[in-house]
Amino acid sequence: MSKPIIAVPADTRFFQNTTWHAAQQQYIGAALDVAGAMSFIIPALGDAQDIDAMLDRVDGVMITGSRSNVSPALYGKTPEERDGPFDPGRDATTLPMIRRAIERGLPLLCICRGIQELNVALGGTLVSEVQELDGRIDHRQPPEGDRDALFVIRQPVHIGEGSCLAGILGAGEVQVNSLHRQAISDVAPGLAVEAIAPDGTVEAVSVIDAKNFAVGVQWHPEYWARTDDTSRKLFEAFGEAVRASQAARTAP
């Protein structure tokens, strides 16, 4: 059987005096090498493209991290300059894609910005500058260093007993990396909290009563998926779900 295919929504980037639609190598590389899935990069064109026609042709969806943030206008707040940068084309693509993937029962893995998009897509809200809130720690990336130093595994999170992630990673404490300044505030009604940081920040969620694997994590498992046990297991579980989805899609 050929490798399954996942949809990966692109970021909008502007350089060389033109607009590009791009996805980072670290995500599509981890999907290929660890989950065993090829990626179709989906342009950030919003409702100019047919989401259902695209989902008809894939076996899963991965929503990646990005330097941009979800616009607060999408969860009832007035955007401020410090909340950015924004990527309205990506927002217009990922939010309906997430909702349709869940409705159709496609495997869904949402990473960093992706968990925030998942929460907003299902009716939740976000908070910016987590490190400025009383009692919270600084979840932003280290101030300097090479990419390995920026993505270093340095923060504990607690996975709840009986959760979806507990079945993959085990319940209790695991170590992850942390590179975010925005996080979930009000959890969407359709989501269950799977893991929290020591300061109470939501670090992972799952879709309640999902027809398939549907998980979001605030950390970056893609960066260490080949070498870190926690990161690898998450991508392997996604890969298993995607292969099962492929088998169902291609069955006579």
pLDDT digits over 183-228, tens only? 999 999 999 999 999 999 999 999 999 999 999 999 999 999 999 9
139 classed as catalytic? no
Q: Quote the CA–CA distance of 245 and 251 in Å, as a whole number.
A: 10
110 classed as catalytic? no
Tokens of 31: 């999907």
Residue ranges of the domains in the chain? 5-250
Query: Which residue among the candidates 110, 112, 117, 139 is catalytic per the annotation?
Result: 112
> What pLDDT does residue 17 have?
93
Q: At residue 174, does pLDDT exceed 80? A: yes
Tokens of 201: 């920040």
Helix, strand or coil, per DSSP, at residue 206 = strand
pLDDT band at 137 (very low <50, low <70, confident <90, very high): confident
Return contacts of 53-56, CB within 8 angstroms, 24+ apart. Answer: 54/7, 54/97, 55/7, 55/97, 55/100, 55/101, 55/104, 55/106
Percent of the chain with pLDDT strictly greater than 90: 88
Report which of 141, 66, 150, 51 is spatially closest to residue 101, judged by C-alpha positions. Answer: 51
Query: Which residue among the candidates 117, 194, 203, 222 is catalytic per the annotation?
Result: 222
Amino acid 249 reads R
Query: Which residue among the candidates 110, 164, 203, 220 is catalytic per the annotation?
Result: 220
Q: At residue 1, does pLDDT exceed 80? A: no
Residue 83 φ then ψ, to 5°: -75, -15
231 and 223 Cβ atoms separated by less than 8 Å? yes
Q: Quote the CA–CA distance of 184 and 168 in Å, as a whole number.
A: 22
Integer angstrom CA distances of residue 242 from 61, 129, 237: 9, 34, 9
112 classed as catalytic? yes
pLDDT band at 34 (very low <50, low <70, confident <90, very high): very high
Domain 5-250 coded CATH 3.90.1480.20: no
